[in-house]
Structure 1
Amino acid sequence: MTRSDANVPDPVLDHLLAGYQRFRKIGWAPHRERWAALKEGQEPEVMVIACSDSRVDPTQIFDVDPGEIFVVRNVAALVPPFETTPGHHGVSAALEFAVQVLKVKEIMVLGHGMCGGCKAALTQAMHGTEPGRGGFIADWISLLDEARVPVAENYGTEGREAERAMELAAVRVSLENLMTFPCVNSKVKAGNLRLRGAFFPIADGILHLLDESTGEFVAQK
């Protein structure tokens, strides 16, 4: 905001600041001891990899206090496979920090319903677009290209049934890619780290967890 804009009404900022004032009264003041303890560092036991979608906030879904979960959010809650090629590996860096430094005991991949990233992967609507016009998204969700094939063959590329299948497949892809990271693989095999898949449909508010024995997502009551 420039100096000349200082007195221009900004309803978006006003809304955020009103929320901040509520936080100061409800989230900060009554829990000062908790916040004071967090000044010394964080010790979350769980890492949650979730989508950037504004409707799916892991801290809200699991009703946790600050410092309880280490959260990474991106389009479609994707984990890329382990690679050492030059570039900026944001998810990989966060994963490395959670596993090697924070030593989390569990990593949850949290997919969700009505996911725009998964829908784009299914329809391939952004394929061929330039970076800044959809190309970055297309490149990112190409991580789902292989998983898309059986989904498209069995369900087509339109409709909620096909989209749900793609959303669940995306969780499985991220779980598989997690195991390509040596630090994750070794800790899982040693029993020091657990991977878990989860899905939140949004519409009914019911969390589903991936059953490792059946490969199905089971609703939690």
Structure 2
Amino acid sequence: MEHSKPLPSYLVQRFHGWKATSYNANQSWYRHLVSEGQHPRAMVISCCDSRVHVTSIFGADHGEFFIHRNIANLVPPYAPDGDYHGTSAAIEYAVGALKVAHLIVLGHSQCGGVQGCIDMCEGHAPHLEAKDSFVGRWMDMLRPHYETVSDISDRQLQSRTLEKQAVVVSLGNLMTFPFIKSRVESGDLSLHGLWHNIGEGGLESYDAKSGDFVAV
């Protein structure tokens, strides 16, 4: 492929630093992961945002989390239509093949995808309205829920409310997958909704009974 370029030198240096330190100090563990395969206890669906570092937040080690990232940590409804479905494929593998016990949807503050949805709904993002905008069409999943925040005048509160709504929407869509619904009802799988405040290092969990997010 003629357009592929060598890795930037700073990343090469970081790799060699990791290989000489962390890897060399834990060679047996890495080889164990290879020989025994992966057996994660949880799948985490988080946003692509570079500021959201899932393994650091939970102090997770290699092999502990099966992680899927997409714009605004959204889960689409179950739709076996033969098209490409990266998120659904990751979920199917985690639940069906890896048999994870926990499925976590992790939202976060200052989410660009959610803000893009708000901008679309308010007529401020014509580029996202275009049919060829992958981000815009992806955020259409959340668009109907803008009505729940349209009357909130505080912009930060509006964004945070819709960020949390994105988590709830994803939890609801997860239950449209038959293989998830059956495992949840049998008690073999639990769903969890979280929202992470990046700046304050906070974490809130969705309480299904109250419909609110409460501090962990």
TM-score normalised per structure 2: 0.90
Q: Counterpart of 1:84 in 2: which secondary structure?
A: coil
Instruction: Give 2:117's aligned residue.
Output: 121
Please tell me whether residue 102 in structure 1 is matched to residue 102 in structure 2: no
Change (3 A) 1:98 1:120: same
Q: Cα deviation per residue 1:112-160 (whole Å; 9 max; x = unaligned)?
A: 00000000111212442252xxx110000000012211111x315x711
Matches of 2:134 and 2:161, distance apart in 1: 23
Aligned to 2:32: 37
Contact 2:131 2:137 in 1 (8 A): no
Instruction: Find the partner of 2:155 among 153, 156, 159.
Output: 159
Please name the residue that 1:145 is paired with: 143
1:33-82, Cα deviation, whole Å (9 max, x unpaired): 21011112100010000000000021121121111000000000000000
Structure 1 vs Structure 2 CA RMSD: 1.8
Residue 75 (structure 2) aligned to one of 70, 74, 79 = 79
1:175 to 160, 164, 171: 171
SS of residue matched to 1:207: strand
The offset of 1:213, in angstroms, is 2.4
- What CA distance in whole angstroms lies between the structure 1 residues aligned with 2:110 and 2:187? 34
Amino acid at match of 1:151: V
Report the AA paired with residue 145 of structure 1: R
Q: Which runs of 4+ in 1 moved over 4 A?
A: none
Which has the higher mean CA deviation after the structures are superposed, 184-193 or 58-67?
A: 58-67
Q: Percent identity?
A: 38
**Aligned-residue offset at 1:102:** 0.1
Deviation, 1:26, is: 3.1
2:9 matched to 1:14? yes
Q: How many residues align?
A: 208
1:57 is matched with which residue? Answer: 53
| 1:198 aligned onto 2:194 | yes
- C-alpha distance in 2 between matches for 1:26 and 1:55: 24
Q: How much does 1:202 deviate? A: 0.4
1:31–1:139 distance in 2 versus 1, CA, 3 Å: same
Distance in 2 between residues matched to 1:15 and 1:190, nearest whole Å: 49
Structure 2: runs of 5+ lacking an equivalent = none
* Contact persistence 2:171–2:191 (CA under 8 A): yes
The TM-score with structure 1 as length reference comes to: 0.88
Does structure 1 retain, via aligned residues, the 8 Å contact 2:40–2:63? yes
Report SS of the residue matched to 1:155: coil
2:18 pairs, out of 18, 23, 27, with 23
